[in-house]
Chain A
Amino acid sequence: MNDLRHRIHHNGGLLAAIGLFIVMFIIYISNHPVGLTVAVATTASNKAVLLALVAMAQTLPVLTRGLDLSVGMVFILANCLASVIVIGTIGEGLLGITVVLGAGALAGFINGAIIVWGRLQPIITTLATGAMYYGIALYIRPGPGGDVQSDIADLATGQLFGVVPTTLVVLLVIVLIVWLPYRNSVPGRAALAVGSNEQAAYMSGVPVQRAKLLAYTLAGLLAAAGGLMLTFNTYSGEASAPIAGTYTLNSIAAVVIGGTSLFGGWGSAIGSIFGAFVLRTIEDLLFVFDLDPLWQPLFQGVVLLAAVSLGALRVLRIRNRLELFT
């Protein structure tokens, strides 16, 4: 009994995000002119999975008390790269997918390497590498366009057995083969220790450097997976700085809504997935309630600001004023 209470307490943020998402999704569906059909669910899932993947990517550096401002740029880079090389036969397409994911992981590894061995701050590093990745994306695709292997794209954005949106299955598979093994591995637990207190973690013999390197590398990989899904959705690539910026900001907000502490050491990527779903549903709600398009950017901005301000709840729990300054 105590164990259950402990678990609920421990996952409060995650449960709140799931609850919020379910309530909002029910409101959305009940106001939708068509209602819950397979097509509506697939469209919603296809859009939500993009942000969910980028939010998962953002979670890993945040857990180590870092931040990756380049996730949006890696997302866009993968999109542009995929629109060039994921073409031809199915075999060539699959090879292209591997290359895109590898490029994302490499971009993440570069971030991690500069942060770990270069000993630079994560924010400034990822701001600078983000500019580089955007430049490369622009080099690959100066104007919007391109194509993608249509068999794979149709499969990835369709339904399995005619009912389950494939994108949800893809997300589930990624959670099962990337997040859960990572979470239970030594570097995964080390990442949480580093986020809580890097000095203490170092003194206890935790592999600090390996934990950080792996966190940023996996972040690049997940962001690239998101960019790949974007290509399957749009059948084209576009090097757009505004889209990259939006995804970076939304990913941070999703991480916060999902109950991960921005001060590191606490949270999970599964929470971030539901945080992303919540943000996506808010956008869909604006659509079904027919909000004036002119008001939408302001409304979304306020929602994001409010979401990240959830982190301020920490101030209420603090017993000693000096803890504020850590």
Chain B
Amino acid sequence: MSEPKLPVSAFPALRFSFDRSLIIAFTCIILMLFGGALYSREFLSPEYLLQQLQISAFLGIIASGVMMVILIGHIDLSIPWTVTLGAMMATAFAGWYGDTGNLLAIPVGIFCGAMVGLLNGIGVAYLRLPSMIFTLGMNAVVQGLMVLHTGGFAPQDHATDAMHFLAVGRPMFGIPNALLIWVVVGAFTTFLLTHTAFGRRVYAVGNREAAAYLSGVNTNAVIIWCFVLSGAAAAFAGVLLAGYSTKAYQAMGDPYLLPAIAAVVLGGTNILGGRGNYLGTIAGVILITLLQSILAVMQMPEAGRQIIYGIVILAMLLAYGRGEINRK
């Protein structure tokens, strides 16, 4: 009896290189860079590219978490206020506890985000509520908590030195720290997805949860862990964003929800779950950041930016994210 030949696992890199969505995404990135270069030579300078990568790192970290959730066929709409929560709790904790607070500020911020993710996961896994609706409700609850927190206790809102250093420092060969952190987060996510049993379970649940359950996978645990990772990643990005802009403020996470989901989906991850790889997400994140940057350089007003966003996302999805025809 011959072994069934699976195209998976042997040379994942090779398989990825033939991914249609990945080719389209990377082609778009190159086209945009050259298009930008026609507009201004600055677009191809190493300094500009490094700066873009530094900015895309924040989106990249958020997208890493969002991708985990999308891979299991769910969606996390609580990203905006989880980002804000991470930033606000980290800065507030540093203010409350002095030196210890400074030391623990970043872990505390991430922990708070993970707790939001835990609640999301419990709601989706055990209450079996549609994730888009439960996480939208969670977003409102966290927003309420943060309004109460900032209004009632007047906490410290400026970032600690460590947060500032992680977000904007460039100690090694001029490579931004934020970019290095994204590399670490990305490597961790890739390892998790491709080299662990947990990663296999994530894809299994995303493809067909009932089948995964009948094969003995604790599907509820997988769902909860994915949401915890998403919450933690969003809060971590919030902490870094607070360091980047030196303070935490209301609604600082609002501009990140749509770009994060768009980056993951443009990178070829199936919105219904079960298919997608991290290389695609990287491409999606860089694509979105470049698009934002070019629109900013062209001094496009907010209205035009929103419209172009929507059109680009829909156009790319229509190019390769379509469902199957209903003919069976």
Q: Which residues of A contact B (CB under 8 A)?
A: 67, 69, 114, 118-121, 123-125, 127-132, 134-139, 142, 198-199, 202, 208, 241-242, 248-249, 252-253, 256, 262-263, 294-302, 304-305, 307-309, 311-312, 314-315, 321-322, 324-326
Contacts and interface: CB of A to CB of B under 8 A. Distances in A.
29 contacts: A120-B321, A121-B271, A121-B323, A128-B313, A128-B314, A129-B310, A132-B306, A132-B309, A135-B303, A138-B306, A139-B301, A242-B251, A294-B147, A294-B151, A297-B147, A297-B148, A298-B141, A298-B144, A302-B141, A302-B144, A308-B129, A309-B123, A309-B129, A311-B133, A315-B126, A321-B213, A322-B213, A324-B128, A325-B219
Contacts of A301: 137, 140-145
A299 B210 contact: no
B265 interface: yes
Interface residues of B, number: 60
A208 B303 CA distance: 35
A197 B258 CA distance: 30
Given A297-B147, A325-B213, A135 B326 contact: no
B41 interface: no
Residue from A242, A262, A308 with most neighbouring chain B CB atoms (10 Å): A308
B66 to A, nearest CB: 12
Contacts of A121: 271-272, 323
A308 B317 CA distance: 29
B128 A132 contact: no
Chain A residues touching B, majority SS: helix
A297 B172 CA distance: 44
Given A298-B145, A326-B210, 8 more contacts: A120-B314, A123-B132, A135-B305, A295-B144, A295-B148, A308-B137, A312-B127, A312-B128
Nearest to A321: B213
Contact of B326 (A198, A252, A253): A198
B12 interface: no
Contacts of A208: 326
B33 to A, nearest CB: 24
B307 interface: yes
A118 B318 contact: yes
A315 B258 contact: no
Contacts of B142: 301
A137 B148 CA distance: 31
- Of all A-B residue pairs in the complex, the 6 with the closest CB atoms, nearest first, are A298-B144, A135-B306, A132-B310, A301-B140, A135-B307, A312-B127
A270 to B, nearest CB: 21
Contact of B134 (A114, A132, A308): A308
Nearest to A302: B141
B325 interface: yes
Nearest to B132: A123
A134 B306 contact: yes
B136 interface: yes
A68 B73 CA distance: 18
A51 B47 CA distance: 50
A311 B129 contact: yes
B301 to A, nearest CB: 8
A36 to B, nearest CB: 31
Contacts of A302: 141, 144
A325 B210 contact: yes
B261 interface: yes
B5 interface: no
Residue from B139, B271, B307, B311 with most neighbouring chain A CB atoms (10 Å): B307
Contacts of A253: 137
Contacts of A322: 210, 213-214
B307 A136 contact: yes
Contacts of B3: none
Interface string B106-122: 00000000000000000
A305 B140 contact: yes
Nearest to A298: B144
A137 B304 CA distance: 10
A305 B141 contact: yes
B137 A305 contact: yes
A114 B261 contact: no
A120 B314 CA distance: 9
A242 B304 CA distance: 19
B75 interface: yes
A124 B271 contact: yes
A312 B129 contact: yes
B324 interface: yes
B254 interface: yes
A128 B129 CA distance: 23
B302 interface: yes
A128 B137 CA distance: 20
B305 A325 contact: no
A124 B323 contact: no
A248 B127 CA distance: 22
B130 interface: yes
Interface string B1-29: 00000000000000000000000000000
